[in-house]
Copies of this chain bind each other. A is one copy, B any other.
């Protein structure tokens, strides 16, 4: 019995050690569920937007452009999501800071001070981000949140 408990202890240590040197990631299946919810919200409001979802390294996992969306939004959506994952915070934080006079942020590489980019966290790790562009930035933000709401239901 003693050796049995020891074994459990060893497994526990190994497991902990492993999980310390690993980190969760965002799958394509999850990205699709997020995008479906975001797209449904956009269509419900008759808003034309681009939905971009990136991984923890800032690389695209999924992108969708609703018919009729301005083409400039393709890059803006990707840049908003990149900003969110690069700085582990919503782009609204940068937008608010700039609005309150923090103009120096306008020169920060990869920091987009426009609402609509939101990081995705799991177990304390930033595993990616969603970026929305196409309508007013607060509306973009509503779509982003609608997308991420599916993760909370799990």
- B-contacting residues of A (Cβ < 8 Å)? 8, 11-12, 15, 18-19, 21-25, 27-29, 32, 50, 55-67, 70-72, 74-76, 79, 83, 85-88, 94-95, 98-99, 101, 103-114, 126
Min C-beta distance of A136 to chain B, whole Å: 12
Please measure, in the bound complex, the distance between the C-alpha atom of A58 and the C-alpha atom of B82, giving whole angstroms: 14
Residues of B within 8 A of A72 (CB): 83, 86-87, 109-111
Residues of B within 8 A of A56 (CB): 57
Contacts A64-B62, A85-B71 known; A113 to B107 CB distance under 8 Å? yes
Contacts A8-B8, A25-B22, A83-B72 known; A63 to B66 CB distance under 8 Å? no
Please measure, in the bound complex, the distance between the C-alpha atom of A75 and the C-alpha atom of B105, giving whole angstroms: 14
Q: Please list 30 pairs of residues, one from A and one from B, whose beta carbons are closer than 8 Å in the complex, sorted by A's number.
A: A15-B15, A18-B19, A19-B22, A22-B23, A22-B25, A28-B64, A55-B57, A57-B59, A57-B71, A58-B71, A59-B74, A60-B65, A60-B74, A61-B65, A63-B63, A70-B86, A70-B126, A72-B86, A72-B87, A72-B110, A75-B109, A75-B110, A79-B109, A94-B104, A99-B103, A104-B113, A105-B114, A107-B112, A108-B112, A108-B114
Which residue from chain B places its CB closest to the CB of A99 in the assembled complex?
B104
Query: In this complex, which of A12, A55, A65, A107 has the most chain B Cβ atoms within 10 angstroms of its Cβ?
Result: A107
Min C-beta distance of A116 to chain B, whole Å: 11
Min C-beta distance of A8 to chain B, whole Å: 7
